[in-house]
Amino acid sequence: DQQVKQNSPSLSVQEGRISILNCDYTNSMFDYFLWYKKYPAEGPTFLISISSIKDKNEDGRFTVFLNKSAKHLSLHIVPSQPGDSAVYFCAALSGYGKLTFGQGTILTVHP
């Protein structure tokens, strides 16, 4: 039962362009979402989060959008940089702090 899904295993974009990573969830009880970035041989690093009372949260080059009715969120990276190349995980946070992760999307930013 995959409650958080990232249906695109990989994404390739040109440096300077926008990267859009998508995530869908099925559990309507989820009300707080996070994006993590993971490089090989490192643990996931927190990027940005959003509460269900908002539909957008911005932090520098990173913006997360939440569409509650569609149970969909997306991460926009503008402009994309080669150093952004990593695996990106979407996660939903349950009450006591359990994270439910998607499968991840491998982002490759070409110079």
Partner 1 sequence: ETGVTQSPTHLIKTRGQQVTLRCSSQSGHNTVSWYQQALGQGPQFIFQYYREEENGRGNFPPRFSGLQFPNYSSELNVNALELDDSALYLCASSWGQGRTEAFFGQGTRLTVV
Q: Quick one: which of 45, 52, 67, 81 contacts partner 1 (CB under 8 A)? A: 45
Cβ distance to partner 1 smaller for residue 60 or 95? 95
Backbone dihedral region of 104: left (phi > 0), alpha (psi from -120 to 50 degrees) or beta? Answer: left
Should residue 41 be labelled a site residue for partner 1 when binding is judged by CB under 8 A? yes
Should residue 108 be labelled a site residue for partner 1 when binding is judged by CB under 8 A? no
Q: Can you tell me the distance from the alpha carbon of 57 to that of 7, in angstroms, rounded to the nearest whole number?
A: 22
b (16+ CB within 10 A) / e for 55-65: eebeeeebbbb
Q: Least distance (Å) from partner 1 to the CB of residue 81?
A: 22
Q: Least distance (Å) from partner 1 to the CB of residue 16?
A: 29
Stretch that binds partner 1, among 14-22, 39-47, 60-68, 76-84 (CB under 8 A): 39-47
Q: Can you tell me the distance from the alpha carbon of 20 to that of 12, in angstroms, rounded to the nearest whole number?
A: 10
Q: In the numeric block, which tokens belong to residue 83? A: 């150093």
The SS3 of residue 83 is: helix
Stretch that binds partner 1, among 14-22, 69-77, 78-86, 97-105 (CB under 8 A): 97-105
Contact positions vs partner 1 (CB under 8 A) = 4, 6, 32, 34, 36, 41-46, 49, 51, 89, 91, 93, 95-104
